[in-house]
Structure 1
């Protein structure tokens, strides 16, 4: 049975979920985390629902058996859309927190009432996204763009031996193409003044996106709200660690990948400042 000292499980189809893990660390500094990057099967957004559901079920079961996790954060929009309801049915006693495009806060923020959404094909095509969009479409027009290949390009950029300049140019080219297809960005009537990053990978291209849409356009992702939701659920059930119970620095994180170990080590060091010895390859 999980206890307050049990870790929080986090997983994504790859390294994109590290953006959520970073927010979780900020909001829950006394907790221990187990992160699984299913990079060997990334990106989920270009896979079918059945495959994504199978992977999510397998990873969740392993986390429960090996780590006795007290909560699970699905740090992937596509996995949330495809699998969260099934996982909640399979694990009724486990708090499961998902991520989905932040359409509500974006609609509330927008002054032009035109919001752009970039996401994977899997997220855009999901019934969960359709329901979410319909719920907030009364006062807001959403310009939705599936960005095929963008999550993969960001994921690939962390692999060892890559040409960083070529990767950056490829990511910039994809972003430029997809943003141009959405319409004009800006703060004038009819322009897109708010852009939702509907995939956890995309925050790692934020500088590129910012350069393309301009400083006046708000970029909105879901990492911090998800971390706060996780905190609220654990607090409500008395499952938070006390500060005196915080793990040692070398025990606070355990990161596992089904892909290339060096890629996860690179991403964890670059984006979270974590040492390589905290990462390991899945057995």
Structure 2
């Protein structure tokens, strides 16, 4: 399959979380046109069966390919863990970049030898994450404290970034890993960067004065890897004054528009609503 340099890049997530990655892509690759797909009608992925996540990843990728994308970014830790290997097998000619928890950079920054991982249940239970964690603990002396953040992505998806309920969840999930001695916190879900201010509030209230806590967001690393892949395949756009961002959602058009405005401080050129057809059973 041949791809054109002026074709758009597709980015998808279970909802608005992937906007944290889209922001880094926009800053790193300002001349690229982007199509964002928010699967909000099926969110959150983190509490769904792996088979459901895989099917949604296939459906969305096929949809984006119909819009002639030249590269795909799976801007969702849960979908990356569940489906990226299968997507690469299915589309061997397509550049596919996923996201995974930044355990290695966290281990490098940690002084205590203990790092914490905030993620969804699906990510933490996935073989991909467990292999990554086990390799780290077997090859270094670093200990990994992991925390499934049930309900947190849903709060962020609703736009409740500063509510008392969201703060209570952040406090519930961050405090135990701080008490365990972690001095680096890995954000293992692309929704979580949007509540970094709340995480910092919990750190300020819980950590000892002067104790430095690193927060690891891997969105920038994804954008840089995407750029490298585009350069390698001669698909990088060097000059495009009409680069735009369009978006599709299986949820609320107004909610996604608000997310672009509030979270990214930028509008999408157009936001379209796609009916949630062929919804798989979620049992």
1:273 corresponds, among 265, 271, 277, to 265
CA displacement at 1:183 relative to structure 2: 4.3
Runs (5+) with no aligned partner, structure 1: 159-163, 185-189
Distance 1:133 1:153 in 2: 27
CA RMSD of aligned residues (A): 1.5
1:156 corresponds, among 131, 155, 158, to 158
Match of 1:46 in 2: 47
**Given that residues 74 and 97 in structure 1 are in contact (C-alpha distance below 8 angstroms), is that contact kept between their aligned partners in structure 2?**
yes
Does 1:252 pair with 2:254? no
Runs (5+) with no aligned partner, structure 2: 205-210, 276-283
Match of 1:22 in 2: 23
Count matched residues. 266
1:145 corresponds, among 127, 144, 147, to 147
Match of 2:191 in 1: 201
CA displacement at 1:216 relative to structure 2: 2.2
Secondary structure of 1:86's aligned partner: helix
Distance 2:12 2:174 in 1: 28
Secondary structure of 2:97's aligned partner: strand
Q: Give the alignment's TM-score, normalised by structure 2.
A: 0.91
Distance 2:230 2:52 in 1: 30
Distance 1:45 1:174 in 2: 16
**Given that residues 106 and 185 in structure 2 are in contact (C-alpha distance below 8 angstroms), is that contact kept between their aligned partners in structure 1?**
yes
**Given that residues 32 and 247 in structure 1 are in contact (C-alpha distance below 8 angstroms), is that contact kept between their aligned partners in structure 2?**
no
Match of 2:58 in 1: 57
Q: Give the alignment's TM-score, normalised by structure 1.
A: 0.91
**Given that residues 41 and 251 in structure 2 are in contact (C-alpha distance below 8 angstroms), is that contact kept between their aligned partners in structure 1?**
yes
Give structure 1 regions of 4+ aligned residues with deviation exceeding 4 angstroms. Answer: none
Match of 2:224 in 1: 228
Distance 1:275 1:92 in 2: 33
